[in-house]
A and B are shown apart, each in its own frame.
Chain A
Amino acid sequence: MTKHPSILPLKVENLEYEAGGKQLIKNISSEFNQGKRYLLLGPNGAGKTLLLRLCHGLLKPKSGKVIWSSGKDANPKHHQAMVTQRPVMLRRSAYANIDYALSVRGVEKSLRPDMINAVIQRTGLTRVANKLATVLSLGEQQRLAIARAWVLKPEVLFMDEPTASLDPPATHSIEELIHEISAEGTTVIMTCHDLGQAKRLATDVLFMFRGRIKEMSSADDFFAGPQNDLAQAFLDGQLIWWKRRPEKDDVQI
């Protein structure tokens, strides 16, 4: 890919999102810098998926801004990719799925096979490269979705619970991939609700609860002992999403 001005840091300013008459993302501001692996942690329904989709541009905020640093010099959309929780598989072979992403980015046809074969090998999809993507196993589909995103060499890769509903070996292989992708310079912003995984992957943690970021800190600090009592409760395994707390939480700060 050609050199372009970096789209990072990504700044999020006073982001709000509403659906079904409910305020689901509440006044989130944050900044994401190059080379990190950000883990969005929080109980089910905290708004992790929504925040990812807002950042990636799949959802429009009610108010607030998602600001990429490149300005008009690069199309930020072309330097980021997302692996959704249940990735969309084109009804084509695994190989053709990856090829499609490259062709959309305007990569010359003659250059594609090498790129595709390389990423297929690195994601361990060689055996199923010519199979229809829609019939692959969940783990294979997840790896294909990562391959399809990775082949674009994005500056930022969003991943929404990339290992949800995978067995331990498959989870392990995905985590290895994430480390490789990160090592190549891609900034990873991902969600998960598994503490072990967060410890293994994160450089930075964002703890979310009921549409807010309650704490954002380095992984070391976070796991050593978060400032926020909700985050601490989450670490202790005491924060159960259906537990209703008396809410000072819904009041705007």
Chain B
Amino acid sequence: MNDLWQAFFKAISLVITLDNRLLEIVFLSLRLSLSAVGIALLIALPFGAVLALTKFPGRKILVIIINVFMGLPPVVVGLFVYLLLSRSGPFGVFGLLFTPTAMIIAQVILVVPIVTAITRQVLEELHLEYDELLRSLDVPWYRKVTALVWDARFSLTTAALAGFGRAISEVGAVMIVGGNIDHLTRVMTTAIALEARKGDLVMALALGLVLLAVALGINLFAYSITETVKRRHQ
């Protein structure tokens, strides 16, 4: 028990003194997950909008597939990306396996379904609400989209945060495609897994604390958004 407390306090001091090794891992994690969410948004927002606002054959099936993909186990996504990028795989020639790029790809695949699904739902509901007025005003389609996206901006931000939460906290996929290589592909979650197994509780705990803080930060941000919206409604 004493050992645990000691490890805990050492961990806190690592965080407070901004330990170099710790910072390296934290920054890599943030860089990868932020990139992944950025790319995922570029795909998911238009995709979700198209699903919400247009009708085409196969749309329903796509919506169902997206919902299924939301619940994909990260390890399976990791395995899938691994097979694609491995030397004998279709994209093997690019030599991306065990690089940060491979990890971003895996995270993008994990994030896109969540953001797409939420975007679709939010825009579809708002469209239903607005449609009559927008048609009455004879609003051209591109202005419809911008009006809907703008008025749904708070919900869409929450969607992005949910995506970021999934990306930064997931371990299975990045472990498989990144390989947890020191200084190169070691991120918070994979480092925690490794250090804990090695028995280096100090580093594992320190990283765990940072991850916890990040998760807390995301939730606080999301909470403050909903609070802002509520206040606007008074």
Contact of B138 (CB < 8 Å), options: A77, A100, A135: A77
Stretch among A29-37, A86-94, A188-196, A239-247 lining the B interface:
A86-94
On A, residues with C-beta under 8 Å from B are 56-58, 75, 77-78, 81-82, 84, 87-88, 90-92, 100-101, 104-105, 132, 134-135
Decide if B133 touches A90 in the complex (CB within 8 Å): yes
List residues of B whose CB falls within 8 A of some A CB. Answer: 126, 129-130, 132-133, 135-139, 143, 147, 151, 232-234
- The residue that B133 contacts in the complex, of A75, A77, A88, A132, with Cβ under 8 A, is A88
Query: Does A90 contact B233, Cβ atoms closer than 8 Å?
Result: no
Q: Are A78 and B138 in contact (CB under 8 A)?
A: yes
- Residues from chain A with a CB closer than 8 A to the CB of B136 are 56, 58, 81-82, 84
Q: Total number of A-B contacts with CB less than 8 angstroms?
A: 38
Q: A88-B130, A88-B132, A135-B233 are in contact. List 19 more A-B contacts (CB 8 A).
A: A56-B136, A58-B132, A58-B135, A75-B138, A81-B137, A84-B132, A84-B136, A88-B133, A90-B130, A90-B133, A90-B147, A91-B126, A91-B151, A101-B137, A104-B137, A104-B138, A104-B143, A105-B137, A132-B232
CA distance A99 to B130 in the complex (A): 16
Q: How far is the CB of B55 from chain A (nearest CB, A)?
A: 16
CB of A100 within 8 A of CB of B135, answer: no
Tell me the minimal C-beta distance from A92 to chain B in angstroms: 7
B143 contact set on A, CB distance < 8 A? 104
Chain B nearest CB, measured from A197 CB (Å) = 23
Shortest distance from the beta carbon of B114 to any chain A beta carbon, whole Å: 23
Q: How far is the CB of B133 from chain A (nearest CB, A)?
A: 4
Q: Give the distance to chain A from B200, nearest Cβ to Cβ, in Å.
A: 51
Chain B residues within 8 Å of A57, by CB: 135
Residues of B within 8 A of A135 (CB): 233-234
Q: Report the Cα distance A77→B126, complex, angstroms.
A: 23
User: Taking A90-B151, A104-B143 as contacts, is the C-beta distance between A134 and B132 under 8 angstroms?
Assistant: no
What are 19 contact pairs spanning A and B, CB under 8 A? A57-B135, A58-B135, A77-B138, A78-B138, A81-B137, A82-B136, A84-B133, A87-B133, A88-B129, A88-B132, A90-B151, A91-B126, A91-B151, A101-B137, A104-B137, A104-B138, A132-B233, A135-B233, A135-B234
- Complex: A56 Cα to B132 Cα, angstroms: 11
In the complex, what's the smallest C-beta–C-beta distance from A86 to chain B, in angstroms? 9
A88 contact set on B, CB distance < 8 A: 129-130, 132-133
Which 8 pairs show the lowest CB-CB distances between chains A and B?
A88-B133, A77-B138, A91-B151, A82-B136, A104-B137, A132-B232, A104-B139, A135-B233
Report the Cα distance A58→B137, complex, angstroms.
10
Q: B136 → chain A, closest Cβ, in Å?
A: 5
Smallest Cβ distance from A245 to chain B, in angstroms? 33
Q: Which residue of B lies closest to A149 (CB)?
A: B136
Which A residues touch B151, using CB under 8 A? Answer: 90-92
Q: What B residues does A90 contact at CB under 8 A?
A: 130, 133, 147, 151
